[in-house]
Structure 1
Amino acid sequence: MPTEYLPALMYAGLAGTALALIVATAQNQWSPRVLFLLALRLSIGWHFLFEGLHKLHSVNHGPSETVRVFSSEPYFKVAPGPLGEKMRQTFSDPGAVFADRVRPTKEITPAAFDALPVEQQAEACPASVAKKLGDVPLEKVVAAIKAEAAADKKAADAAEKKGLADAEAEIKQYKMAEKQAKGEKDAVTKKAAKAREAADKLAASADAEAPKRVVGAKAAYAAWVHGADRRDVTVKFITGAAPQSAPERLAHIDRLRNMLREEEAKLGADLGQGNGIESKRIAEIRSDIIAAEAALAKDADDYVADLRKALGDDSKDEPVKSLGKTMDGVTMWFLVGVGACLMGGLLTRLSCVLAAGFLVMTYLAHPPFPWYPLPPNTEGNPLFINKNVIEAVALLTIASFPTGRWLGLDALIGRVCCRARPDERPVA
């Protein structure tokens, strides 16, 4: 169906729904209870249905100036509630990355680690990283070494050509004696020849050098993990890149967590959302923790990729679809399905309970507790009770009445499957 007809179809559906609501109310002796319960059910159903369709549209058609592709990751990224951490881990779990690739494998000071032989340093490389580096075929490593040697040789030729040209210019400018000019050129030629010889030796020893390169890559990563080496990282409030090791970055994250616990303890003693500054401070610290964890996990993966590339392996790991992405897809269709069931009065009570459960889970991810910052774009200043709670209670109230039999497909199912019970007959 052409998209230009969708608004007309939507308005026609709403008009039909309104007419059906009036007819159902009239059939029930114009009962206010029937009118408002059905209106409440249809309103919530429309809310769920349209929200689900909008999310599906954003995914199917991609981003635009006014529409962002739906993902619950930004919402859960700053969610402080009991379910917030669990939901974040469905997208990415920095803690698992730290344990797998960032935590030191042995207790040793950076100086003592630096004094170890390269082979022992390589043995201290985290097992998962050592496997990734060790899985690089030696043929690729040999090819990378030979390519490096060829590049060195080409650079030596270019340096010799430039050096001789500069020497000729100096001879003409300063009118050097023949002996002095010859010495100038010989120095350039010898330096280039030495570089070419080193390149040839590197290429000739590529087969023997390849295993050493792999061991060196493992040792380099292990040195970063154990604090004996640093890599540049962007630090908040510091201009430019600052060199830091993995233990230093983990210690920084631990300091932020301690600061967060102290600030939450202060705010938790009071009701309400503090004076605004306190809540903002907690939100900033929590965001800093999440950002620091994500950055460290990404940098660990990037370092492994850089080491593999240096070994001649440009292949990238297949992207793994996270559980969070899968849950996003389920969520979109869940909203559409539940919304359609509430609008059509199909399995109404079950749909109400499922929708209320969904809202409770959302509430537990971002609850308006006084010791938590307010969720993004929150209206007002809710304390313990927010819109999710109110809508969940409304859904459970609807589930207490047979509204699907008053208006909906449940009436047809009831006539076919069973006789209406007394409590399901409309009462004014």
Structure 2
Amino acid sequence: MRERMALVFLVLLRIVIGWHFFFEGYQKISSVNRGPTETNRPWTSESFFREGTGPIAALVRSQIGDTDDLVLARLDIRPVPAGEDPTKYADYKRMPAALDKEWDQYLDRFARAHGLGPAEQEVAAKTLQQQKEKLVKAFTTVKKDYKRNYPSGTLDVQLTVAERTAEYRKKLAEYRTTQGDKLFAMGKDVEKSRRPALRGEVMSLRAELIKEIDAQTSEMKKALDDSVKQTVSARQTMTLPDAQEKPKLIAWIDWTTRWGLIVIGVCLLLGLFSRSASFAGALFLLMTILTAPSLPWLPAPPQSEGNYVFVSKNVIEMVALFMLAFMPTGKWFGIDALISSFFKRNDQDA
């Protein structure tokens, strides 16, 4: 009786894990199919790898770029070249290099989406140039209230976006030193208590500055819409241009993750190739653990639930799947039993 109940609960363990995998995959596919809306953001693993603290995350970031470095590239106003008169040098030429490229690519997608003719493209290009000049002036001359942390408390200070960017760069460099040489300078984690606070400040500064970029980008898109609205609406309905492409590596990881979860989940639910599916699921979870490990000297992964030291829910589920990989639960209850009996019957007939 005890052995039977043990088998029943092992099969149930396989089924509930299979449901977890299947539903995770279904939700991810569903969010992508619905597309971006006010209430839905298509799932992507990009933020998971960008914020992860494990070796897999570092490997992926080495291919797609570090989040903070990419944000800084969208914020750094280019200096006036040597020999040029600063009073006569066009502001739009000082646009941050990465953001300049991003906006130019948006204009190309905008022109294709609306089928702009040569005259309309010229108007749109002129509008984009004006918006670039507006951004450079806003980032370098307009002061805004920002909160700055002092030992005595938090105070509002007036800074330009360029000055706030300099603070962000300085704080980021300080945070990175706590992950480098200082970490083991005395044979132990001497920055453990300071690192989470620094990381929080870096993320707060980054979020503030991304809002500034997004606000300027939204104004640019609205200005482009308005510049061609009359001529375009006369012949067609205004449509949104295609979304900016994700890095190819992330696109491949996203696709394999979505459908891999579905396939593993279905196999575990039906008891089809149950041992192979269990092993594949365990390897998938191992990859997620190595992307965002629950190590006490590392910051908690973004959107993490609970408090873990070494052993997280993913670790528990991974160990369970490795155990199931060595047990024929599909032959106890599942399609594997039908496949096994079919081959046994053929062997007997032979």
TM class by smaller structure: 0.5 to 0.7
1:319 match? 243
2: CA distance between counterparts of 1:404 and 1:391? 18
Aligned counterpart for 1:295 among listed residues 190, 211, 229 = 211
SS of 2:160's equivalent in the other structure is strand
Aligned counterpart for 1:262 among listed residues 162, 174, 177 = 177
Aligned residues with identical type, % of pairs? 24
Instruction: Confirm or deny: 8 A CA contact 2:56 2:290 kept in the other structure.
Output: yes
Q: CA RMSD in A?
A: 5.3
Instruction: Confirm or deny: 8 A CA contact 2:77 2:136 kept in the other structure.
Output: no
What amino acid maps onto 2:15 in structure 1? L
Q: CA deviation at 1:381?
A: 3.6
1:38 aligns with 2:11: yes
2: CA distance between counterparts of 1:351 and 1:234? 55
Deviates more, 1:408-417 or 1:42-51: 42-51
1: CA distance between counterparts of 2:72 and 2:214? 10
Q: Which has the higher helix share?
A: 1
1:217 match? 130
SS of 1:337's equivalent in the other structure is helix
Instruction: Confirm or deny: 8 A CA contact 2:278 2:324 kept in the other structure.
Output: yes
Aligned counterpart for 1:244 among listed residues 151, 161, 179 = 161
1: CA distance between counterparts of 2:28 and 2:272? 23
Instruction: Confirm or deny: 8 A CA contact 1:342 1:351 kept in the other structure.
Output: yes
SS of 2:174's equivalent in the other structure is helix
Instruction: Confirm or deny: 8 A CA contact 1:52 1:335 kept in the other structure.
Output: yes
2:297 match? 371
Instruction: Confirm or deny: 8 A CA contact 1:45 1:341 kept in the other structure.
Output: yes
Deviations 1:90-131 (A, max 9, x none): 8996755765x655556648x96523344xx65565563568
Q: CA deviation at 1:263?
A: 3.8
Deviations 1:135-177 (A, max 9, x none): 8978459989xxxxxxxxxxxxxxxxxxxxxxxxxxxxxxxxx
2: CA distance between counterparts of 1:78 and 1:117? 38
Aligned counterpart for 1:47 among listed residues 13, 20, 41 = 20
Instruction: Confirm or deny: 8 A CA contact 2:178 2:191 kept in the other structure.
Output: no
SS of 1:341's equivalent in the other structure is helix
Q: CA deviation at 1:353?
A: 2.2
> CA, structure 1 residues 230+420, in 2 after alignment: closer, same or farther (shift >3 Å)?
farther
Instruction: Confirm or deny: 8 A CA contact 1:91 1:322 kept in the other structure.
Output: no
What amino acid maps onto 1:285 in structure 2? E
Instruction: Confirm or deny: 8 A CA contact 1:224 1:231 kept in the other structure.
Output: yes
1:387 aligns with 2:313: yes
> CA, structure 1 residues 222+279, in 2 after alignment: closer, same or farther (shift >3 Å)?
closer
> CA, structure 1 residues 302+98, in 2 after alignment: closer, same or farther (shift >3 Å)?
farther
1:156 match? none
Q: CA deviation at 1:331?
A: 4.3
2: CA distance between counterparts of 1:214 and 1:49? 48
Aligned counterpart for 1:281 among listed residues 197, 200, 210 = 197
Aligned counterpart for 1:356 among listed residues 282, 288, 298 = 282
1:235 aligns with 2:146: yes
Aligned residues: 311
SS of 1:400's equivalent in the other structure is coil
> CA, structure 1 residues 304+363, in 2 after alignment: closer, same or farther (shift >3 Å)?
same
1: CA distance between counterparts of 2:8 and 2:201? 49
Instruction: Confirm or deny: 8 A CA contact 1:45 1:343 kept in the other structure.
Output: yes
Instruction: Confirm or deny: 8 A CA contact 1:346 1:409 kept in the other structure.
Output: yes
> CA, structure 1 residues 308+249, in 2 after alignment: closer, same or farther (shift >3 Å)?
farther
Deviations 1:285-318 (A, max 9, x none): 35225425633553563464366468x2467643
Instruction: Confirm or deny: 8 A CA contact 2:175 2:199 kept in the other structure.
Output: no
Deviations 1:402-427 (A, max 9, x none): 33223321122234357899xxxxxx
Q: CA deviation at 1:346?
A: 0.3
How high is the TM-score relative to the length of structure 2?
0.62
- Between structure 1 and structure 2, the one with the greater Rg is 1
SS of 2:172's equivalent in the other structure is helix
What amino acid maps onto 1:319 in structure 2? A
1:10 match? none
Give unpaired runs (5+ residues) of structure 2. Answer: 149-154, 230-237
> CA, structure 1 residues 142+335, in 2 after alignment: closer, same or farther (shift >3 Å)?
closer
> CA, structure 1 residues 325+91, in 2 after alignment: closer, same or farther (shift >3 Å)?
farther
Aligned counterpart for 1:115 among listed residues 80, 83, 87 = 87
> CA, structure 1 residues 283+252, in 2 after alignment: closer, same or farther (shift >3 Å)?
closer
2: CA distance between counterparts of 1:256 and 1:278? 12
2: CA distance between counterparts of 1:355 and 1:286? 35
What amino acid maps onto 1:305 in structure 2? K
Deviates more, 1:371-380 or 1:265-274: 265-274
What amino acid maps onto 1:382 in structure 2? V
How is 1:12-411 mapped onto 2 (pairs within 5 angstroms)? 30=3, 34=7, 37-52=10-25, 71=43, 76=48, 78-84=51-57, 86=60, 95=69, 99=73, 102-103=75-76, 108=81, 114-118=86-90, 126=97, 128=101, 129=103, 139=119, 217=130, 220=133, 223-224=136-137, 229-231=140-142, 235-237=146-148, 239=156, 242-245=159-162, 248-264=163-179, 270=188, 274=192, 278=194, 280-288=196-204, 290-292=206-208, 294-295=210-211, 297-299=213-215, 301-302=217-218, 304-305=220-221, 308=224, 312-313=227-228, 317-320=241-244, 322=246, 331=257, 334-375=260-301, 376-383=303-310, 385-411=311-337
Instruction: Confirm or deny: 8 A CA contact 2:21 2:264 kept in the other structure.
Output: yes
Q: CA deviation at 1:379?
A: 3.0
2: CA distance between counterparts of 1:36 and 1:306? 58
Q: CA deviation at 1:367?
A: 0.9
